[in-house]
Amino acid sequence: MNSKFLQLSVLLFSLFGTSVSFQWYLQEHPILVVNALRYDKSIIFQRLQNSFEKMYHLPDYAHAKLYIGDKDTEKKCITGTEITFFVKGFEIVQKEYEASECRINLNPEYQVILSPTAGFSSFIHQYNDPLTKSVEMNLMKKFSGSKIPKIGEIKFYNFHALNSELECLVEYQEISQVKMKEWNLQVHVQEVIEVPESCGFQRFDKSFDGTFVEALEVNIPINGTFYCRNGRSSTCKKSTAEFSTPRYKLFRDQ
């Protein structure tokens, strides 16, 4: 039996209790293909720049600019570059986020009201990288359109029933923080960049064969819920808790 088919079958069985064929996965068709005909050249150049920094282990603060050459050489480099993304596996995972400040109540007369940060679920899933966003969109189409039991039924970004109106009541001298528990489809993606010789990477490493490979992790949210986390935690301590401009419950329960 093909080892890739076996690995996929075991993975699907562990997730959903059933072994199914996943034709588009077995064919290993790329989830996204990027080249100068489909995407802005600046996006491709930025990807080359990032791979250049990672290949030669340049520190984050250095940002050594990739110099390709004259305009004709640079054009040949960018138009000859192709970037492909492949799915290598996936799983359902649960993640937790701090959805508010850590707050302490210093008023003995009232309870402090603590709520989730407005627009929090949208904020944590913003992508500055347009390619990663394109990968996510293509993944959602593939998974949503699949006939795999349970997978095809998933509704991504299903935050319509999210309890954004949650109010945590913080007692005097107590600390609290709103947390968000979220379920994601975590997809393990392989990015393959075919770098032509005109880009000049071989000037720095003659053994470079023209292919740069990187593993990516794309987390697509399914749904989530906010909850109150009262008391000390790894992200909430009295010594660092916020106390200014609180919201109070007008009438303290007797």
Which helix or strand (DSSP H or E) is residue 103 part of?
strand 103-104
Amino acid at 217: E
CA distances from 60 to 65, 132, 217 (A): 12, 20, 20
Give the 3-state secondary structure of residue 17: coil
What CA–CA distance (Å, rounded) separates 237 from 56? 40
220: which 2 tokens?
């697509």
What CA–CA distance (Å, rounded) separates 62 from 75? 25
* CA max distance for the chain: 78
Predicted pLDDT at 126: 84
Predicted pLDDT at 2: 43
Rg (the chain; Cα; Å):
24
Predicted pLDDT at 176: 97
Stated pTM of the model: 0.78
Q: Low-confidence residues of the chain, pLDDT below 50? A: 1-21, 23-24, 26-27, 61, 254
What is the CA 17 to chain-centroid distance, rounded?
Answer: 26
